[in-house]
Structure 1
Amino acid sequence: MDTTDNKDQPAREGKFFYESVQDAKTLVEYLRALTDGFEKGEMRFSRKDLDMTLSPKGLIGFAVEAKAKEGRMKLALKFAWREAVADPERDTDNLVITSGGGE
């Protein structure tokens, strides 16, 4: 059954893609929504033609890629997990992220 046509029931499988240019304030709102979704164990992604829900649980794979070259900056975040799979061993290599600006 394809749930992408039913607005009341978000898809649990498939692919959601969205790309745009936003200001930093809007991006902070998106990041807060993602943080809330991880805390609550559910996040919903919507646009006019697709509605998808993801349920992050257990250990979650996390990757960060930051690039700077000739004035062009890129930051990519990636999260991955499996549903209903035993938790793998936790990685012991810890990442530190700090905001700029000094103290």
Structure 2
Amino acid sequence: MSASVAVEVQLRRRLGHAPPHRGASPHRSLPRQQPAKAAAARARLDQLTPRERDVLALLAQGETNADIATHLDMRESTVKAHVSRILTALGVTNRVQAALLALDAGLTT
């Protein structure tokens, strides 16, 4: 399994879109985030504009740039610009890392 696939599987598990690990109880809930980790993630999200937060929330739900553009009534090129700014502001290198940070901050459930 490639690293990017492994990260995607991890993200899907954390978001509840994939079955749990083998042998895991189906009733086992995800571990709660540590308060310090959540606070640090929220502090990083404070650097974003409200519109960038809207884009990030949809990105964290797995939406494509085209879907985000349709949902927020903006051009896809504008979404791409927002995504680039989000990645830079958060200090991450890809959408998966941004989505995980949003999840840690409680931006998505």
TM-score w.r.t. the length of structure 2 is 0.26
Higher helix fraction (1 or 2)? 2
* Higher Cα radius of gyration: 1
Higher strand fraction (1 or 2)? 1
TM-score w.r.t. the length of structure 1 is 0.27
Query: Higher RCO, 1 or 2 (CA under 8 Å, sep at least 6)?
Result: 2
